Structure 1
Amino acid sequence: MRQTPLSGVFGVENAGHSWEALQQAVDRVVAIIQSDPNNDRTDRIITRWLKRHLQRLGAEVHLDQLNSLVEDRDMLAENLENLVKKERFEGMLAGRQEGEHMKAEQIARNLIAMGLLTDAQIATASGLSDNEVKVLREEQKH
Structure 2
Amino acid sequence: MFTRWLKRHWQRLGAEVNLNQLNSLVEDKDMLAENLENWAQQERQVGIQEGEKLGIVKTVRNLLKLGVLSDEQVAEATGLALDEVAELRIEGKR
Q: State the Cα distance separating 1:71 from its structure 2 match.
A: 3.6
Q: Confirm whether residue 124 of structure 1 aligns to residue 76 of structure 2.
A: yes
Which one of 18, 23, 30 corresponds to residue 78 of structure 1? Answer: 30
SS at 2:69 equivalent: coil
- Aligned counterparts of 2:34 and 2:46: Cα–Cα separation in 1: 18
Q: Percent identity?
A: 30
Query: Is 1:93 aligned to 2:23, yes or no?
Result: no
Aligned length: 76
Q: Which stretches in structure 2 are left out of the alignment for 5+ residues? A: 1-17
Larger fraction in helix: 2
Q: What SS is found at the alignment partner of 1:117? A: coil
- The alignment's C-alpha RMSD in Å is 1.5
Q: Normalising to structure 1: TM-score of the pair? A: 0.51
Deviations 1:32-52 (A, max 9, x none): xxxxxxxx9xxxxxxxxxxxx
The runs of 5 or more residues in structure 1 that have no matched partner are 1-39, 41-67
TM-score, structure 2 length as denominator?
Answer: 0.75
User: C-alpha distance in 2, partners of 1:111/1:88?
Assistant: 35
TM-superposed deviation, 1:70: 4.4
Q: 1:136 aligns with which of 76, 84, 88?
A: 88
- When Rg is computed on C-alpha atoms for both structures, the one with the higher figure is 2
| Separation in structure 2 between the aligned mates of residue 95 and residue 78 of structure 1, nearest angstrom | 26
What do residues 85-114 of structure 1 show as CA deviations (whole Å, max 9, x unaligned)?
A: 000000000000000000000000000000
